[in-house]
Amino acid sequence: MDRKRIREEVVEIFCAKLHNLQAPSDDDDFDYENQTLVPEITKDPLDIAEVSMDLEDAFGVNFEDTMPGDAGMETIGKVVDYLDSRISRREEAAAKSRAEAEEV
């Protein structure tokens, strides 16, 4: 899964849950990457918890030490980077396992 697709899905989930964030449109140049989750988009920790669970379900990735909105994951772009990194590692591990299985 490439970063662009991850970004599109993340933005869709954020827009669906956090109604303070405008939905994307075809002719829109809105900068989602640099939108700060707290407090620009929401101040409610329950909103962030719900979005986090939706992201975990959508991407099969668990947020471990840092949750969206925390230091290091303050913006939508940083959430996308985190998910992209975790998904890439998972895909690489799966490819390595397949290659090892084929050698046997």
Residue spans of the domains in the chain: they are 3-23+34-103
CA dihedral 51, 54, 55, 58 (to 10 degrees): -160
Question: Is residue 46 pLDDT above 70, yes or no?
Answer: yes
C-alpha 38/C-alpha 14 separation (Å) is 13
Of the pLDDT bands very low, low, confident and very high (cuts 50, 70, 90), residue 62 is very high
Burial class for 9, CB neighbours closer than 10 Å (0-12, 13-18, 19+): middle
**Whether domain 3-23+34-103 has CATH 1.10.8.350:** no
Q: Tell me what the mean pLDDT of segment 61-78 comes to.
A: 92
Question: Is residue 27 pLDDT above 80, yes or no?
Answer: no
Give the CA distances from residue 49 to residues 34, 46, 101, in Å, rounded to whole numbers and listed in that order.
20, 5, 38
70 vs 25, more confident: 70
Mean pLDDT score across all residues of the chain: 91
Q: Tell me what the mean pLDDT of segment 42-47 comes to.
A: 90
The vertex-63 CA angle with 48 and 51, nearest 5°, equals 25
Q: Minimal CA–CA distance to 49: which of 32, 69, 34, 22?
A: 69
pLDDT score recorded for residue 102: 87
